[in-house]
Structure 1
Amino acid sequence: MAAQGPMVKRRKIGRELQTLRETSGLTIEEAGAAIGRSDSTISRIENGKRDVQLIELKGLLEAYEAPAETREALINLLSATPEETWWTVFDLPPNLDTYVGLEAEADTLRVYVLGAVHSLLRTEEYARAVLRGTSPSAPAGEIEDLLKFHMQRQQVLKRDSGALDLIVVLDEACLWRQVGGLDCQREQLKHLIQLAEEMPNVVVQVLPYSKGAHTAVTGAFTILDFPDPTEPAVVYVDSPAGNLYLQKAKDTRRFDQSHSRLRGMALDEHESVRFMQTVLKEIK
C-alpha cells in the first residue's frame, strides 16, 4: 500500500480492519476483549474516528488471523511517516482538525450552504464578522488566530498539487444577510462574483427563494470526494448540536442525490453571476 495522507490512511486502515474482523467471525465486543479495549474503541477505529496504535493493530491482526501479506501491508501503512500538515501550528478544536484533514486530501467538495457564504469563498472582513458572530464570547486573539487559519485554508483552491474543485449551491439568504455591515457585504459579493467568473475550479449556483421547499431546507452539508476512486466519499454536517461525519454508502447516496437535485433547481453558473450582480446593485 502506498503512503496516504493522515485522514485517508486512518479511514483505509479502519475499513481493512472491519473487513478482517467480519471475515474472522468476531463481534466488535470480542475484538475489543482480545486486545483489552472497549467495543466503542474498536468501533471508532473501524470508522476512521480514532488512530489505531501499533500494539493494537498487531493484536487485532493476530486475533483476526490475518494473512502475512495483509499484516505486513497494514503495519507498513500505519508506520509510514505522514506528511507535515500546515494546520498543526494552530490550536484547533478536534472536530475542525478532523474536517480540515479530510478537506486537504479531497479533490472535490460538493456543498450546500444556507446561512452564510462558504468559508473557502469569504473575504477576510466577512470571515472575521462570521467568527465574531458565531463565537461572541471568544477572546479577540482567538478570533484572529482562527481567521488566519481560515484565510490560509483557502489556498486549497490554488494548490500546486492540484486545485480543489468546489461546487457550491448557495441559498439566496447568503447574499442578503448583512454580515459585518453593508460595506462588508458588498465587498463579499464582489469577491464571490470574481471567483465565480475567474476560477475554473469554483462553481457557484444560487438557489433563489422562489424555488420553495427542497431536500436540504433544514440544513447545510458538504460532500468530500477523494482522488482515489476506491476511497468512499464523506458527508459532513455541522450543527450547534455537534459535527456529523457519514461514510456509509446508504447515507452518502442520500446526500449525493440531494445535491444533484439542488443543482438542478438552482440557477446555472451564468444566471447566478447575473443574480449576484443584481443583488449587489440593490444593496444600499
Structure 2
Amino acid sequence: MNARRSPTIRRRRLGAELRRHREAAGVTIDVVAERLGFSPSKVSRIETGHNSATPRDVSELLTFYGVETHEAQELVQIAREARQKGWWHPYSAVLVGAYVGLEAAARRVRTYEQQVIPGLLQTENYALAMIRAARSSDSVKEIDRRVHVRLARQSLLTQDDAVDLHVVLDEAVLSRPVGGDDVMREQLARLIEVHEQPNVTLQVLPFAAGAHAGMDGPFTILDFPDPGDADVVYAENATGGLFLEKEEELKKYHSIFDALASAALGPEESTRMLAMLMKEPLWRSRPRDSGST
C-alpha cells in the first residue's frame, strides 16, 4: 500500500472513531466487552490504535453502538486498510513501537535533537556507527537491518508528496564525531546538502543560546494531512519512546518547539556554521583528556 496511507495511522483513526461512537452510545468498555465476548483489554487496545481490529469486529462494535450503514461501511473499509502491511513490516523485529508507521503518514515532522543527527538526515556511515555504539549487543545482521530501515525512511524527503521536515539541532550534536573524523565530515556535508531541499528546514541551536526550552530532552512532533488525525509527540528513550496525544501535552510541545526555533540560528546562518565546522571541526580543536593532572 502507499506509504502515505500508513496502516498505523488508519488504525489510530479507526480507534478514535470507535471510541467516539462508544461514548456517544453511553456504554463503557466493560459493557462492550461483556456483550460482545471481547476482553476489556482488547476493546481498549483497539480504541487506542495499539491493536488492529478485524472488519468483523468493527462491524459488530458499530452495530452495538447503533451506527448507520453508510458510516459503518466506511469504518469497516478503514479496518481492512489498517490490517495491510507497511513497507517496514519485514523489519518489525528490529523496530520498537509505532513511530515509523506514524512518520510514514505525517505531513510535517518537527524535531529537536541534542545528541544525534535525526534519522531522516543520517548518512549510512553515521547511522552504522551510531547504531553499533548504542546497540552493542545486537548481531551484525540486526544492525544492518536497522541501518537499512533508517535509510529507507529517508525516501519521505524526496517522494512526490514529500514530508516537510523542520529540525532544530543542538550544537552538541555537531561537536561529537560519531564514527570518526571522515564519517562526521561526510555527515556535515549531508546536512549542508539538504539545505537546498525546499521541504527541509535545518537550524542549529548554538551553545551561546545558554539555557533553553528544550533542556528536558529531544522530541518529535508529527502532524498529519487529515484534520481528523490529531498531532502526536514522540519522546524517544532507550526502550522505544513515549507517545503523547493529550491536548495540553501537544500545546506544551508546540510552544517548546517554537521557542527553540526562535532561539536557534536561522537556516542560512546554520548552513554557514556547518560549512565552518567542516573546515575547523570542534572535536579536533578539543583534544581528549589524557588523564594527567
* TM-score, scaled to structure 1: 0.91
Match of 1:231 in 2: 229
Aligned partner of 1:124: which letter? Answer: E
Match of 2:68 in 1: 67
**CA distance in 2: counterparts of 1:186 and 1:81, whole angstroms:** 41
Q: Secondary structure at the match of 2:96?
A: helix
Quote the RMSD (CA, aligned, Å).
Answer: 2.0
Q: Name the CA shift for 1:41/1:124 in 2 (closer, same or farther; >3 Å).
A: same
Matches within 5 A, 1:7-156: 7-80=8-81, 85-96=86-97, 98-156=98-156
**CA distance in 2: counterparts of 1:28 and 1:254, whole angstroms:** 30
Q: Name the CA shift for 1:81/1:21 in 2 (closer, same or farther; >3 Å).
A: closer
Aligned partner of 1:57: which letter? Answer: V
**CA distance in 2: counterparts of 1:81 and 1:207, whole angstroms:** 39
Please report how far the alpha carbon of residue 78 of structure 1 lies from its aligned counterpart in structure 2 after TM superposition. Answer: 1.8
CA-to-partner distance for each residue in 1:7-39, whole Å, 9 max, x for gaps? Answer: 221111111111111111112222222222333
Q: Name the CA shift for 1:116/1:231 in 2 (closer, same or farther; >3 Å).
A: same
CA-to-partner distance for each residue in 1:25-64, whole Å, 9 max, x for gaps? Answer: 1122222222223333222211212111233222322322
Match of 1:251 in 2: 249
Q: Give unpaired runs (5+ residues) of structure 2.
A: 285-293
Q: Name the CA shift for 1:4/1:280 in 2 (closer, same or farther; >3 Å).
A: closer
**Residues 223 and 232 of structure 2 are in contact (CA less than 8 Å); yes or no, is this contact kept in structure 1?**
yes
**Residues 52 and 83 of structure 2 are in contact (CA less than 8 Å); yes or no, is this contact kept in structure 1?**
no
Match of 1:222 in 2: 220
Q: Give unpaired runs (5+ residues) of structure 1.
A: none
Q: Name the CA shift for 1:163/1:83 in 2 (closer, same or farther; >3 Å).
A: farther
Aligned partner of 2:170: which letter? Answer: D
CA-to-partner distance for each residue in 1:139-169, whole Å, 9 max, x for gaps? Answer: 1121112212211221111112x11111000
Please report how far the alpha carbon of residue 225 of structure 1 lies from its aligned counterpart in structure 2 after TM superposition. Answer: 1.2
**Residues 222 and 232 of structure 2 are in contact (CA less than 8 Å); yes or no, is this contact kept in structure 1?**
yes
Divergent runs of 4+, >6 A: none
Please report how far the alpha carbon of residue 254 of structure 1 lies from its aligned counterpart in structure 2 after TM superposition. Answer: 1.3
**Residues 113 and 170 of structure 2 are in contact (CA less than 8 Å); yes or no, is this contact kept in structure 1?**
yes
**CA distance in 2: counterparts of 1:57 and 1:82, whole angstroms:** 12
Q: Name the CA shift for 1:79/1:145 in 2 (closer, same or farther; >3 Å).
A: closer
Q: Name the CA shift for 1:5/1:150 in 2 (closer, same or farther; >3 Å).
A: closer
**Residues 94 and 145 of structure 2 are in contact (CA less than 8 Å); yes or no, is this contact kept in structure 1?**
no
**CA distance in 1: counterparts of 2:217 and 2:231, whole angstroms:** 19
Aligned partner of 1:49: which letter? Answer: H
CA-to-partner distance for each residue in 1:98-141, whole Å, 9 max, x for gaps? Answer: 21111111121000111101111111110100110110111112
* TM-score, scaled to structure 2: 0.88
**Residues 21 and 64 of structure 1 are in contact (CA less than 8 Å); yes or no, is this contact kept in structure 2?**
yes
**CA distance in 2: counterparts of 1:139 and 1:93, whole angstroms:** 11
Please report how far the alpha carbon of residue 94 of structure 1 lies from its aligned counterpart in structure 2 after TM superposition. Answer: 5.0
Q: Secondary structure at the match of 1:166?
A: strand
**CA distance in 1: counterparts of 2:68 and 2:101, whole angstroms:** 31
Please report how far the alpha carbon of residue 223 of structure 1 lies from its aligned counterpart in structure 2 after TM superposition. Answer: 0.9
**Residues 4 and 82 of structure 1 are in contact (CA less than 8 Å); yes or no, is this contact kept in structure 2?**
no
